Structure 1
């Protein structure tokens, strides 16, 4: 029988983690951003957030040693644990076998079928593919994400217009989710300790990734290639329509100063003017 991960103290969880990794012959790999949670408070914070929203099925990204997997499986109807490392995946199966409600999937989260993303998502996101994973979540039906991110990236997601960290991913996720940072944790919350602080973020969906979101994303990709230039010139170039009349206020702002609401005004004007052109043909 595999001893479950203890949450009684950080010292005990660190010892359990080191012993388990040693027994499996695993050395954490930097290129996979492998860092294992050894702070019980972080695990319990995620558990509290899950219990607040009460999802019945949870998809866990990067399950690692199953530290989070095991404990959330004690109160969730089902946990789908995704882990790319076959040795770790095999260990999670042994660890959670007696619980009977954990499905272990050996895969890269970015390659998973969309059907998996209809469930709430939790996990400690691999830092080297954070942006890709957040965008992947955004474009699915995932109703809720409770994820641990690099603190700097989490701050990008909640940045305000005009701030240095404000960008495309801020705006598209603003359109799709309510977002909040719940807690910040130091590097010592993980083994081995990364060089950055981490943040637990909750993202609750407010709308799906519809046709409007697709056009908005294309507009953001184009305009933010020249984020420090006057929005008027960049928008004209990106949408190939003269907006000097209705969107005159763009002459007073840079691209990175435009809010979500202002981008939606541009989008509305662009679609209406294009429809008018089609009607004139």
Structure 2
């Protein structure tokens, strides 16, 4: 029996109704499931956080490769089912929770096999053996209506993670990897590229899901950077500048930066800062690179500019 037929029969047998409000679309393409596992590049000592395990199809494949799987599912009915069907997999823990309400750093550091940082070397080691250990990996099939908040939540816990392999809407994937001067380039591009090295690993047609979503998807591999791509003296300020530049993306920087309440800069000061940053005042945010945004925010951080 094919995976699509198995999935339909499984849903029917257990009287499971797909909940659109939770953005539920079950992946039914065996080839893509296998590719996701390949991209995650799991080793026998790896710990994986899986967000949205659904019926556990991918969970089983991950469990065969990794040391520990923390499968986080918000749907109570699916949680009950997963706890029954995944009994043979002793390395899988099902957590009934909203991923946005979980303290990820606290969750993974409480695991007995979680690697801890040595004060002398700064390297991650297994606390029991002293041997170098891997950070946690995330594999997720994200509900498209809440993709960005979940990604931001994951990036806040980036120091405990090595990489994030996520299924997202194709347009969102394009935005993640977009370069300056392209229509997809924006605040999300800069956020992702500041903290990670993103690449679109698989293009996924809507026919790979049950039910079929209205859009095509892609799997994005986000490799967490050891340190941010550029040096921003004040990260909060850096992202305020980014947001201001893209709030109205057709605005020239001299207007975008002076009219936002977040920065509280008058146009005269903005013009002086842009001059020192060697950025023309009529340029738009969509033309600036990460390096230019960092240069700009670092100058704004200097209270004596102008």
- Is TM more than 0.5 here? yes
* Corresponding residue for residue 162 of structure 2: 143
Match in the other structure for 2:143: 126
Instruction: Render the CA deviation track for 1:162-213: whole Å, top value 9, x for unaligned.
Output: 2222111110111100000011011110001111111011001114689733
CA RMSD in angstroms, aligned pairs only: 2.2
2:286 maps to which residue?
A: 256
What is the CA deviation profile of residues 67-120 of structure 1, one whole-angstrom value per residue up to 9, with x for unaligned ones? 101111011000000111111111112222112000101111111113246721
Greater alpha carbon shift after TM alignment, 240-249 vs 55-64:
240-249
Is the Cα–Cα contact under 8 Å of residues 230 and 253 in structure 1 kept in the other structure?
yes
Deviation of 1:259 (Å) = 1.4
Contact 1:172/1:213 (CA < 8 Å) preserved in 2? no
Match of 2:275 among 242, 245, 257: 245
Counting helix residues as a fraction of each chain, which structure ranks higher?
1
Distance 1:54 1:245, change over 3 A: farther
Gap runs ≥5 in structure 2: 109-134
Q: 2:35 aligns with which of 42, 45, 50?
A: 45
Structure 1 counterpart of 2:235, from 213, 220, 243 = 213
Equivalent pairs, count = 266
- Indicate the residue corresponding to 1:164 in structure 2: 183
**SS in structure 1 at match of 2:279:** helix
Counterpart among 184, 187, 195 of residue 176 in structure 1? 195
Structure 1 segments of 4 or more deviating over 4 A? 52-55, 207-211
Counterpart for residue 5 of structure 1: none
Does 2:4 correspond to 1:25? no
TM-score where L is the length of structure 1: 0.87
TM-superposition CA deviations, 1:40-92 (whole Å, max 9, x none): 01110011112267761000011100010111101100000011111111111
Could you tell me the TM-score, scaled by structure 2's length?
0.81
